[in-house]
Structure formats: structure tokens, C-alpha cells
């Protein structure tokens, strides 16, 4: 497994992401941007990127705060996210920087690129799609769906999938309905999959250590099903190459 630090500029920050490619994979390879949760470039997103690399993709586990930062203080993270939510252009700039860096790699070389993300990383993937970026597909896992800068008609070029928990206190029915209305107005190719009994962060076993199961809880069934849904979408946008 090739595991390489990839440094680039995005939104005025020096970003340090991690590129993963299986040495057995013959290029050019389809690329996947993998955006982490709000805390930054941690084990969960690195494991998912490695899993994608083993499936034949060039996977970039993306820095979202600069310098590859991984924060532990919830208060600091909420402050950083507040700025990005209030100004989606900051979020989009960081996502677009990652997209350009991955596209510039010779292992990708003209191949289509998709973006996935977890929690706030899913929001980043969606904001990338809203920006009009040329991405083949976007998948958000338990990602926030709201934005202060909705997609414009025709701006979303790739297929969109969001996978959310039915009982996620951060993503209620009203937010899902508003997202559906936004996607309809944008004439996007979109789908929402809602998993019963699942709450926030259902793909990450580490969240159980928080001790807040009513808010964030790993759900192995929703994890497996949502990953399979992503793979089905990738079969479409990458023409069954995986």
C-alpha cells in the first residue's frame, strides 16, 4: 500500500492530506476524496481511505483544518466549524483544493473523481457539489444537509447520495425535507437513504466512547448498508470499476 503525504494550498491554508493507492492497482485510477468528521484527519477517515485504495481507487484522506490538524477539544472544533458554516466559500475552497491536488496526480490522470465524507466531512462533499465542481459522485454519511448557499439550477454535475440516521438529532425531518427541496430545485440526480434506529456518527465505532448513545452511536448494520449503497453508486459513476 502506497501511503503518501500530499501537501497543497487551499483557502489560504497549507493542507496535509494522505494519499493511499494499492501497489497492485494499474492506473490511471478513479479518485475518491475522503473528508473526515469535524475533528480532522483521524483514524476513522484513514481506515476508510485505505479500504477504498484496496478496492482499486486512488483515495485521498483530506485535511480540513490545515497542517493535517486533528483536534480533540470539542469547543475549539465547534468554533472552527461555525466560521465554515457561516461562510461556505471557505469550506468549498478547501474541498476544491483537495480536488485539484488529487486530479494533478499521475495515478489519476483524467479519470473521474468522487467525494465522500463523514459528519462535517459529508457537508464538505456536498458543498463541493454545490460549488459546481466536476465530481462524478458525492456521498455524505450522517452529514449535515443545511447550507446558507443552496445549489443553483444545473450546478450539481455528479450523482448525490446522503445516508442519514432516522433518529439523528442533528439531521431532523425538516432538514431532510429542505435538502430534498434544494436538490429538486437544482435538478440534481439525488437520493436520501434513511436508516431506522440510527443516530449520528453511525459509521464510527469510536463514538461509543463518548457515552452519549442518544446523540452519537455506532450502528454496524447502518454502517454496512451505507457503505454498500456507496459502492452501488460508484458502480454507476465509475462504470463498475472497483
Per-residue HEC secondary structure of the chain comes to CEEEEEEEEECCEEEEEEEEECCCCCCCCCEEEEECCCCECCHHHHHHHHHHHHCCCEEEECCCCCCCCECCCHHHHHHHHHHHHHCHHHHHHHHHHHHHHHHCCCCCCCCCEEEEEECHHHHHHHHHHHCCCCCCEEEEECCCCCCCCCCCCCCCCCEEEEEEECCCCCCCHHHHHHHHHHHHHHCCCEEEEEECCCCECCCCHHHHHHCCCCCECCCHHHHHHHHHHHHHHHHHHCCCCC
Residue 66 lies in a domain: yes
Residue 228 lies in a domain: yes
Contact (CB, 8 A) for 41 and 3: no
Q: Say how far apart CA 53 and CA 168 lie, in whole Å.
A: 30
Average pLDDT over the chain, rounded to whole?
A: 95
Contact (CB, 8 A) for 117 and 143: yes
Contact (CB, 8 A) for 222 and 205: no
Specify the pLDDT at position 108: 95
Measure Cα distances from 160 to 27, 114, 152, 187 in Å: 25, 10, 15, 11
The cell numbers describing 80, all together, are 472552527
Q: Which of 192, 185, 196 is nearest to 219 (CA)?
A: 196
pLDDT at 47 over 80: yes
Specify the pLDDT at position 242: 45
Q: In which band, very low, low, confident or very high, does the pLDDT at 84 lie, cut at 50, 70 and 90?
A: confident
The cell numbers describing 216, all together, are 452519537
Q: Say how far apart CA 29 and CA 38 lie, in whole Å.
A: 28
Q: pTM, whole model, 2 decimals?
A: 0.96
Percent of residues, the chain, with pLDDT higher than 70: 99
pLDDT at 69 over 90: no
Span 185-239, pLDDT tens digits: 999 999 999 999 999 999 999 999 989 999 999 999 999 999 999 999 999 999 7
Residue 83 lies in a domain: yes
The cell numbers describing 209, all together, are 466512547
Q: Write the CATH number for 27.
A: 3.40.50.1820
Residue 242 lies in a domain: no
Contact (CB, 8 A) for 61 and 145: no
Specify the pLDDT at position 239: 79
Specify the pLDDT at position 241: 53
Lowest model confidence (mean pLDDT) among 83-87, 92-96, 105-109: 83-87
Specify the pLDDT at position 240: 57
- Mean per-residue pLDDT, 43-55: 97
Angle between helices 74-86 and 120-130 (to 10 degrees): 10
Q: In which band, very low, low, confident or very high, does the pLDDT at 78 lie, cut at 50, 70 and 90?
A: confident
- Mean per-residue pLDDT, 62-82: 87
Domain of 28 in residue numbering reads as: 2-237
Instruction: Please state the domain count of the chain.
Output: 1
Measure Cα distances from 63 to 20, 47, 70, 156, 208 in Å: 14, 14, 9, 23, 24
Amino acid at each position: 500500500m502506497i501511503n503518501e503525504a500530499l501537501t497543497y494550498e487551499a483557502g489560504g491554508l497549507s493542507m496535509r492530506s494522505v494519499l493511499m493507492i494499492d501497489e497492485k492497482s494499474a492506473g490511471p485510477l478513479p479518485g475518491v476524496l475522503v473528508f473526515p468528521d469535524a475533528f480532522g484527519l483521524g483514524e476513522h477517515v484513514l481506515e476508510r481511505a485505505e479500504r477504498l485504495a484496496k478496492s482499486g481507487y486512488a483515495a485521498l484522506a483530506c485535511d480540513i483544518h490545515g497542517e493535517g490538524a486533528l483536534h480533540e477539544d470539542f469547543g475549539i472544533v465547534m468554533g472552527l466549524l461555525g466560521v465554515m458554516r457561516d461562510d461556505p466559500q471557505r469550506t468549498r475552497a478547501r474541498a476544491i483544493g483537495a480536488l485539484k491536488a488529487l486530479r494533478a496526480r499521475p495515478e489519476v490522470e483524467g479519470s473521474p473523481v468522487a467525494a465522500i465524507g463523514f459528519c462535517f466531512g459529508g457537508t464538505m462533499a456536498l458543498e463541493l457539489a454545490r460549488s459546481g465542481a466536476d465530481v462524478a459522485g458525492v456521498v455524505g454519511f450522517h452529514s449535515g444537509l443545511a447550507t446558507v448557499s443552496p445549489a443553483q439550477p444545473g450546478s450539481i454535475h455528479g450523482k448525490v447520495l446522503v445516508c442519514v440516521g432516522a433518529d439523528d438529532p442533528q439531521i431532523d425531518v425538516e432538514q431532510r425535507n429542505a435538502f430534498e427541496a434544494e436538490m429538486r430545485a437544482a435538478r440534481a440526480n439525488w437520493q436520501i437513504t434513511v436508516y431506522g434506529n440510527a443516530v449520528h456518527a453511525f459509521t464510527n465505532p469510536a463514538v461509543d466512547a463518548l457515552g452519549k448513545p442518544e446523540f452519537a452511536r455506532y450502528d454496524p448494520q447502518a454502517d454496512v448498508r451505507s457503505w454498500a449503497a456507496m459502492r452501488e453508486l460508484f458502480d454507476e459513476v465509475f462504470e463498475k470499476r472497483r
